[in-house]
Amino acid sequence: MSSLTTQFNLKTDNSGLAGTIINSPLRVGDRFFVEILMENSDINPVGITSSAINLSFDPRSIQNIDNPFTPLDINSPLVTSSFPFGRTGILDNTNGSITNLGGGSLPFLGIGSPLGINQLDTFSLLHFQVIGNGNSSLVLNIDLSQTGFSDGSVASYSGNQSQFIKIVQVGSSTAIPEPSTILAMVILGLGVLLSKKRNQDNSNDS
């Protein structure tokens, strides 16, 4: 049996790029990334040559915003470019699911390359946005029956964790204005008050 280690991360959106691990509640309108990493954690690893995942979420709270959602595109981060063969994946934002997202490689034919030899490598990177209040569970299921290794073995359901859960915490939906915005509002308010005072003075003089 080959051993699989999986890491499931929620990361900040840093101008459209995956940033740091999220450790505070998000707000409505915030965007974030879901990162899934895999490693062949055997003593003598040969590398992962295929895998597929299923992801479920609360569509009232968060939505996938990968546009277009095209896992068939080898340049799409939805599935690692190391797996160019048999790429699949279906997004259903209405019901909150991503199913059979995956692909594979055939290194002996020069198609793709193994993943996760002596390190965690990114299998998938997905983009999400918070659209509503309320926390959402993100449930990741690894299809171990489709997770293969370079030596021809397949991951076993005995000894390998296949389900991971993350909670997307959503705080107040009211965004706090930036300091520059607050200053502009104060200046605008003062301008309105001064204008009203001048109008009153002019009325008194006449």
Reported as a single tens digit per residue, the pLDDT across 22-49 is 999 999 999 999 999 999 999 999 999 9
Residues contacting residue 54 through CB under 8 Å, at least 6 positions apart: 97, 98, 99, 100, 101, 140, 141, 143
Q: What is the pLDDT of residues 106-144, one digit of tens each?
A: 999 999 999 999 999 999 999 999 999 989 999 999 999
pTM: 0.82
Q: Hey, what's the torsion of the CAs at 8, 15, 136, 100, to 10 degrees? A: -50
- In one-letter notation, the amino acid at residue 168 is V
- In one-letter notation, the amino acid at residue 8 is F
